[in-house]
Amino acid sequence: KAGVTQTPRYLIKTRGQQVTLSCSPISGHRSVSWYQQTPGQGLQFLFEYFSETQRNKGNFPGRFSGRQFSNSRSEMNVSTLELGDSALYLCASSLAFLSNSPLHFGNGTRLTVT
Amino acid sequence: KNEVEQSPQNLTAQEGEFITINCSYSVGISALHWLQQHPGGGIVSLFMLSSGKKKHGRLIATINIQEKHSSLHITASHPRDSAVYICAVLASGSRLTFGEGTQLTVNP
């Protein structure tokens, strides 16, 4: 079974631009959650999607958004990029709700904002 | 004070030693995860537990809900166990909150 796939692996953007990251979950998994990891703040929860609906959102500004498609693939978008958005963005998939199932992580997208 | 506290922050051990990493949390939770992160960023889920104890190979995880505390033990440690170990709790609202991680280095 293929694992969680995140694309692209690396991305360099300029302040003010926007970016879209993609996450393909394990086949059959319906929950996709997103996380930001920085040296200063560690790992932080961004949001979780289940059956195309956002179930939960972390404490991030509205510039961070996401969506999930009918095939469970998910995208997250960051608009008006700031230097502080430079981070490793990870997604994880699980069979059911975040609270009920083990997580399977992708390898992440490393975003650098210059 | 962080909702999830891990100790120690850094740990260096000799191959074969028994290792314990601790996680304390301050909120009510429905589940606790132990994660392993290798250089390069990939994260592997080691355990998800809500009570008692789980074992997988040389790894053992325990949780005491009343004391709001969990431990991850590694028996007969090996250099390939070198990684960052992260505790994460699933509190009300189904949001994962992470500890700062424990950097483990096992020397041959």
Strands (E), B1-108: 4-7, 10-14, 19-25, 29-37, 43-49, 52-56, 59-64, 69-74, 83-91, 96-98, 102-107
Q: Identify from B43, B45, B46, B92 which residue to disrupt to test chain A contact, counting A C-beta atoms within 10 A and taking the largest count.
A: B43
**Residue A48, token pair as written in the block:** 């979780």
> Over the stretch B14-31, which tens digit does the pLDDT of each residue have?
999 999 999 999 988 889
Residues 7-36 of A with CB under 8 A from B: 33, 35
Cβ of A43 within 8 Å of Cβ of B98? The answer is yes
Q: Identify from B29, B34, B94, B100 which residue to disrupt to test chain A contact, counting A C-beta atoms within 10 A and taking the largest count.
A: B94
> What's the average model confidence in pLDDT over B89-106?
88
pLDDT value at residue B39 = 84
pLDDT value at residue A40 = 86
Assign B44 a pLDDT band (cuts: 50, 70, 90).
very high
**Minimal Cα–Cα distance from B37 to chain A, Å?**
10
> Over the stretch A17-29, which tens digit does the pLDDT of each residue have?
999 999 999 999 9
Q: Which residue from B89, B104, B78 is spatially nearest to B28, judged by alpha carbons?
A: B89
Flag whether pLDDT at B40 surpasses 90: no
Beta carbons within 8 Å of A41's beta carbon, 6+ residues apart: none
> Over the stretch A35-77, which tens digit does the pLDDT of each residue have?
999 988 899 999 999 999 998 899 999 999 999 999 999 999 9
pLDDT value at residue B42 = 87
Which residue in B31, B43, B86 is closest to A99 by CB distance?
B31
Cβ–Cβ contact B71 with A under 8 A: no
Cβ of A108 within 8 Å of Cβ of B45? The answer is no
